[in-house]
Structure 1
Amino acid sequence: MTHLRYAGAGREAQERALVQIIRSQPHLMAILEGMNALDLPDPLLASGAIYNTVWNVLTGRPVLTGINDADVVYFDDSDLSYAAEDRTIRRAAAQFAGSPIPVEVRNQARVHLWFPQRFGMAYPPLNRSAEMMLYFATRTHAVAARLEPDGGISIHAPFGLDDMFGFRVTPNPALPNRETHECKAARAKAIWPELTIVPWPTG
């Protein structure tokens, strides 16, 4: 059960462990450094590239196992056009051309404009990048990091880190995203059988 060695360790200890894991992984550090090179406003590296890497490190798997892409987000409400976002996406594509995993870049100030049409449900306008995690279908996935100007790594996790370190996939019913939670949970369980899947709440 060594993969659970940080479960229940407390927020400070878990943040230190996560920062240590991130710093040990060149693919994550290159993305964090690239985000700063692009000078993105309110940037975060979020979701699978982080929690999947943690699970791989703690279970001794190759570090890129199960990682489809890296989600890099920023918040710029000065221009909500797709054209502006696309310019940033193109700059990022050049910056991350050598990454071993694809890097997807999205402006969180625009999500409420396209989310209802794509997913069939309303989405509130956000005020900063980290707010996106409040609406993730799964609380476990709500973890993000940023490389600060002083070289420190800040961790953003509104629901804490114990689900991730406890290998629990826990739903977040903030939006009616049951299908998303269940599909992602099933995929993750097939890759990391150590996971416990918490069912979507009923009623």
Structure 2
Amino acid sequence: MTDLDRLRGLLVRNEVLVTVLDRARACDLPHWYLTAGCVVQTVWNALTGRDAGHGIEDYDLFYHNPADPSWAAEDRVIRMVADACRDLPVEVEVRNEARVHLWYEAKFGVPCPPFASTEAAIDAFPAVCSCVGVRIGRDGSWHLHAPYGLDDLFGLVVRPNPVLAPREVFERKAARWKARWPELTVLTSR
């Protein structure tokens, strides 16, 4: 069994996540992935016997469109996805990763170079275990991006990613996650 097969087997336990994946596919966004907490936390919930939606605050849908990095263009996509998901009991947070560098420093206190792709943005998440993105292709096949593999995710290990995120961002996330999933092992160094 491949990592993707195992991951898919765990993710399909979350019907909302699968529905968001299907609706994202229908929106046909450029270079999109469902990523971050909703993916990671669905896996943790499956591995620890919790309800599929336990602790999931939102569903992160990232795409990359450098052709128009304006807020107006991103807002149109946000509204389109919100309309497509209006009947779901969750928030789908949509971001054009081609424009993150425009606001990142104001929010997190450190500059962020422009991301060349959605994959590059996923690679920069604060924790290695959360550097995971999935999408469903037009043909129904599942695609995975996991630059560090899935060992930490499947092993319930949270370790800092040295690529970009400030230490405080990692520590806040790790503390919040540990409170919701006490089975996690939080490491302080890579």
TM-score by length of 2: 0.95
Alpha-carbon RMSD: 1.3
Which AA in structure 2 matches 1:21?
Answer: L
Contact 1:47 1:144 in 2 (8 A): yes
1:57: how far off? Answer: 0.9
In the superposition, relative to structure 1, how do residues 176 and 132 fare at CA in structure 2: closer, same or farther (>3 Å)?
closer
Q: Among 48, 73, 83, which residue is 1:84 paired with? A: 73
1:176: how far off? Answer: 5.1
1:100: how far off? Answer: 2.4
Corresponding residue for residue 67 of structure 1: 56
Partner of 1:150: helix, strand, or coil?
coil
Q: Does 1:152 align with 2:141?
A: yes
Corresponding residue for residue 36 of structure 2: 47
> Rg: which structure is higher?
1
Distance in 1 (CA, whole Å) between partners of 2:61 and 2:96 is 9
Q: Among 139, 142, 149, which residue is 2:131 paired with? A: 142
Corresponding residue for residue 3 of structure 1: none
Contact 2:63 2:95 in 1 (8 A): yes
Distance in 2 (CA, whole Å) between partners of 1:185 and 1:135 is 16
Q: Does 1:100 align with 2:98?
A: no
Which AA in structure 1 matches 2:14?
Answer: Q
Contact 2:110 2:166 in 1 (8 A): no
Q: Does 1:57 align with 2:43?
A: no
Which stretch has the larger CA shift, 14-23 or 28-37? 14-23
What is the total number of aligned residue pairs between the two structures? Answer: 190
Contact 2:108 2:166 in 1 (8 A): no
Contact 1:178 1:200 in 2 (8 A): no
Which AA in structure 2 matches 1:74?
Answer: Y
Corresponding residue for residue 172 of structure 1: 161
Contact 2:125 2:165 in 1 (8 A): no
1:36: how far off? Answer: 1.5
Partner of 1:45: helix, strand, or coil?
strand
Contact 2:124 2:165 in 1 (8 A): no
Partner of 2:103: helix, strand, or coil?
helix
Any runs of at least 4 consecutive aligned residues in structure 1 with deviations exceeding 6 A, and if so which? Answer: none
Distance in 2 (CA, whole Å) between partners of 1:48 and 1:143 is 9
TM-score by length of 1: 0.89
Which AA in structure 2 matches 1:82?
Answer: W
Distance in 1 (CA, whole Å) between partners of 2:57 and 2:180 is 12
Partner of 2:74: helix, strand, or coil?
helix
Distance in 2 (CA, whole Å) between partners of 1:188 and 1:126 is 26
What 5-or-longer segments of structure 1 have no aligned partner? 1-11
Question: Percent of aligned pairs with the same residue?
Answer: 43
1:83: how far off? Answer: 0.7
Corresponding residue for residue 4 of structure 2: 15
Partner of 1:93: helix, strand, or coil?
helix
